[in-house]
A and B are shown apart, each in its own frame.
Chain A
Amino acid sequence: MYDHLNHVQQQFKQREIKIELQGFKSVYTRPGQLQYHIEAYNEYLLLTNCSVLPVGTRILSDTNSLEVKKGHRRIEALEEFSGLVSIELPRGTNYFPIIEFIQIVKE
């Protein structure tokens, strides 16, 4: 398994984006609520636990969007989101995970 934090540092250096803060952000999902919104303006959220999300979960943002498919369980790549991030769990799910992101606040 590759080192996520090392990868993040290297990639942001390549993109010439200076990091003010590197931390974590978690979204606690719960029964009765399928939609969640996070404001990530001027920052980046990198999804770290895509493999545990229910198939059909959609994460939409100003810069990237993702629908979780079965194949995502085997993928280690980090998906990056920025701006207004909207998370939609699939209807009928009975699994409510904690969704974890690496949070990067840029200078």
Chain B
Amino acid sequence: MSVTRYSIVSFWVQKPGEIISFQHKIPAYLKRCTGFKLSLVGSMDSSLLNCEIGRISASFNSLKEEAITANLIHQKLEVQDFQELDVHLHPGQIVSGVYVDAALHEEFTPYKVQLYLRCTDKEGQTQNQKGSCTTI
């Protein structure tokens, strides 16, 4: 039986226009990344719900595969489920990326971005064959 694990990359955005680089290691026993989801933690002015908050890009396997480029729009994030990925993970390699805050407004409140990476320990598993789920 396969298991699904959610590996989470999270960081605080403290000022408008901030650029945040991140590096993350997914546990070596996980073989594939099958999806990702972005979430925001923090209060947001209602006028900004439909605005682009920021952009994120990330690569897998120590810069070998550029797999994620996405923009963050609060309203979309609330209804959006995991977006599909199909990346074979090399054990112990780095997920690295960058987040750019796109704020153009003067009033800024710090917020937290969380990138959930849905991974499985089974090679070649399809999106519909999810195992038991645990957050790590």
Are A15 and B64 in touch, CB under 8 angstroms? yes
Q: Is A107 an interface residue (CB 8 A)?
A: no
Q: Is B19 an interface residue (CB 8 A)?
A: yes
Are A63 and B57 in touch, CB under 8 angstroms? yes
Task: Encode B11-45 as 1/0 by CB contact (under 8 A) with A.
Answer: 00000010101000000000000000000000000
Complex CA distance for A14 and B62, rounded to whole angstroms = 9
Tally of contact residues, A, Cβ under 8 A? 14
Most buried by A among B17, B19, B69: B19
Chain A interfacial positions (CB closer than 8 Å to B): 14-17, 58, 60, 62-67, 82-83
15 contacts between A and B (CB under 8 A): A15-B62, A15-B63, A15-B64, A16-B64, A58-B17, A58-B19, A62-B57, A62-B69, A63-B66, A63-B69, A64-B98, A66-B19, A67-B17, A67-B19, A82-B66
